[in-house]
Structure 1
Amino acid sequence: MLDERWSDEVEEIGDTLRKVLAKQCSSEQIRAAEATETGLSQTLAQELTAFGLDDLQAEPELFARIAYELGRALAPTAYVETIPVLALTGAAGVSVGFDGPVPAANQRVAVKGEDGVYIEALLGEPRRTAAGDILVEHQSGVVAGERLGDCQLADRISRYATFIDAARMTGAGQALLQYGLAYAREREQFGKIIGSYQGVANRLANAAVLLDSAELMVRKAAFTASPDVGGDGTPSTEFAIMARTKAADAARLVATAVHQIFGGNGFAMEYDVQLYSRRLRSWANRGRRSGTDLADLARTMLDPARRDAVRLLWQHDIGLPLPRWAREADAI
């Protein structure tokens, strides 16, 4: 059964990565990287290489936690876009270019052909987005690419990319929420801390609930990938869609709530709210629109035969053993 928390091993690696990112991703360093021609931090790239991210062979849960931490830190790196291909094929430095622009920093891109997946050299004009990213609309098919795998691999990469997007947005949303909470505990208005006002507290509480559910959905999507529960090493289509949709909704809600709490300061470049909200909006708007995916999911759920084929939709499909937290509580 799914445990609501990250596993101990993933927690350890995630906490270690968080410490590395804390030294390289201060708001000053993020702003400095955004001002460069690449929009990235070369120092951070060296640190991540030394950390061994390009050499990882890991389960989806760990890759999700890595994307979560990179999103939480607003890390100026193009690594997240390479995770799906790295996780499923071992090829490092390859962006997924199935449904939208890709980072200019990665010189190779995976594209879908009629008979599978190909790796091509990145071709196109770089442009700087409002989020500070340097992206390229890849011109596929101009130069012959190297065949990476069949249509089944293309489907798995697409599912993995959807899932990783969700993890990154959830991490950034959680960090923005903490930033808003800290401000609400310190800022005074009419002689009172603004966090004591019900309207402010309710906005933050609603954002926290939605973000927690998004994080749990990311964990559930990773859980569906396990061969132990019938997975193929990649999160299922249904749960990948649900995780990304939930993460995008949570990201928009927390960005709106925190901007409102900061008032006019939320739109001032001197404050960090805009660093998060610009990136969250950019990530949410890349690739396929959530409405398209949700319509496909709705058609699946409305067809009894297709709905019954969805794995792990109900926990009783695999029984109800006690989760780890309950077993640990019983042992105390």
Structure 2
Amino acid sequence: MRFALSPEQTDFGASVRKLLEAGRTPAAVRSWAAGDTGPGLALVRGLADAGVLGLAITEEHGGLGAEPVDLLVAFQEIGRAAAPGPLVETAAAIPALLQALPDSTVAGDILPGLAEGALGTIAFGEPLALDADTAGTVLVADGPRLSRATVGEAVRSLDPARRLFRVEPGEVLTEGEEVRTAIAAGFDHGALAAAALLLGAGKALLHATTEYAKQRKQFGAPIGSFQAVKQQLADVLIALDLAEPLVLRAALTTAEPTRGRDVSAALLTSADAAYLASRVALQVHGAIGYTAEYDLSLWITRVRALRSAWGTADFHRSRIADSLRGTE
């Protein structure tokens, strides 16, 4: 099994990175948090035009029908940029869920719009949906039932740019035990995309911290020359390097019986690595790292929110343990 990206995938990732850099993503994130979604929606349009939002959608429904690894390449770059919006839900979770349904009617109604740049969001069990006021499609997946949602009041998030809303089930789109299986597929694909986001965010934090350590001086020398700082940065690099193969493996086994275990392992390790990167970033930057005006805060709050947005650590550890014991 190969855990390295092809030259084409590497080039694709570089093109997504350039697109997001050109869109002045930090400014768009701050605008999104303040309720001005215009700059963020312009980024979404650029991602849609580049085919990112249609990667996981089959050609039958207006997408590209790409491999899961291709989608994760894009989401690493989205995480590196901390781009706003329900992109995991739009490009990963909802397509996987709808395409796993035995009846393609619902998929045919929703997916072509998502591939073209319309936003979608979904609540899995918990009655909270990301950016439900901005998304054209808002779904609730609960047990064996998939419904359209009625959107309620806003709920405060750790990350101001992750705007959560209470939702309640409305019109039932489909239900049954096969729907339960499709919902599980949608959740796992969303969690895997979140793992890629965390990996990208961790890499962005490591890069920003390394550059800062090269420039910031104490006692007449860059703080990056101090052994204690070097060791902390090395620990972050090792953690990220260990997480990346698990994310790629999970992308390669989405159709296998071990999907749940592999997704949980990928999310856990990526979350731990990104959280370590955020802690080291704060320690190295010092007081400036805590200020909302400094761009570092955008990635730190994103990592804190994403750590539990797709299941707690206990939930994912339990899935891994159950799989290893053969009780899953």
Tell me which interval the TM-score lies in, with the shorter structure as reference length: 0.7 to 0.9
Residue deviations 1:151-175, cap 9 Å, x none?
Answer: 2212211211121110111111111
* 1:300 and 2:328 correspond: no
Distance 1:277 1:113 in 2: 31
Aligned-pair distance for 1:107? 3.6
Matched, 1:284 2:307: yes
Q: Offset of 1:41 from its aligned partner?
A: 1.3
2:95 to 86, 89, 100: 86
| CA-atom RMSD in angstroms | 2.3
Aligned to 1:72: 80
Q: CA deviation at 1:113?
A: 4.1
Is the Cα–Cα contact under 8 Å of residues 205 and 299 in structure 2 kept in the other structure? yes
Contact 1:95–1:108 (CA under 8 A) maintained in structure 2: yes
Q: 1:58·1:87 contact (CA, 8 Å) conserved in 2?
A: no
1:151 paired residue number? 180
In structure 2, what residue type is equivalent to 1:31?
R
Q: How far apart are residue 243 of structure 1 and its match?
A: 0.4
- Quick one: which amino acid aligns to residue 183 of structure 1? Y
Does the aligned pair in 2 maintain the 1:25–1:74 contact within 8 Å? no
- The whole-number CA distance in structure 2 between the counterparts of 1:112 and 1:79 is 17
Q: Contact 2:210 / 2:233 at 8 angstroms: preserved in 1?
A: yes
Counterpart residue identity of residue 151, structure 2: L
Q: 1:209 to 1:99 in 2, by over 3 A?
A: farther
TM-aligned CA deviation for residue 277 of structure 1 = 0.5
Consecutive unaligned residues in structure 1, runs of 5 or more: 311-332
Please show how residues 214-293 of structure 1 align to structure 2 within 5 Å.
214-225=243-254, 231=256, 236-293=259-316
In the alignment, the residues of structure 2 paired with residue 255 and residue 39 of structure 1 have an alpha-carbon distance, to the nearest angstrom, of 28
Report the equivalent of 2:71: 63
Which letter maps to 1:64? Answer: L
Cα deviation digits, residues 58-98 of structure 1 (max 9, x gap): 21111111221111111123222222222452523432311
Q: CA deviation at 1:126?
A: 2.3
Deviations 1:128-150 (A, max 9, x none): 4241222112212xx22212762
The corresponding residue for 2:239 is: 210
Separation in 2 of the partners of 1:221 and 1:111?
A: 25
CA distance in 2, matches of 1:296, 1:34: 34
Q: Distance in 2 between matches of 1:300 and 1:114?
A: 21
Q: How far is 1:122 from its partner?
A: 4.3
Q: Which one has the largest radius of gyration? A: 1
Q: Match for residue 155 of structure 2? A: 127
Query: Once the two structures are aligned, what percentage of the paired residues are identical?
Result: 28
Alpha carbons 1:108, 1:122 under 8 Å: kept: no
Q: Is the 8 A contact 2:201 2:299 kept in 1?
A: yes
Could you tell me which residue of structure 2 aligns to residue 167 of structure 1?
196
Distance in 2 between residues matched to 1:208 and 1:124, nearest whole Å: 42
Kindly state the Cα deviation for residue 10 of structure 1 after the two structures are TM-superposed. 2.1
Paired positions, count: 295
Matched residue type, 1:58: A
**Structure 2: how far apart are the matches of 1:31 and 1:299?**
41
Give the equivalent residue in structure 1 for 2:123: 97
TM-score by length of 2: 0.82
Distance in 2 of aligned mates of 1:37 and 1:15: 28
Partners of 1:33 and 1:293 in 2: how far apart? 30
Question: Secondary structure, in 3 states, of the residue corresponding to 2:168?
Answer: coil
Asked if 1:8 corresponds to 2:35, the answer is no
* TM-score normalized with structure 1 length: 0.81
**What's the CA shift string for 1:254-286, capped at 9, x where partnerless?**
100010001111112332221110111011122
Distance 1:122 1:210 in 2: 41
* Whole-angstrom CA distance in 1 between matches of 2:6 and 2:129: 31
Give the corresponding residue for 1:313: none
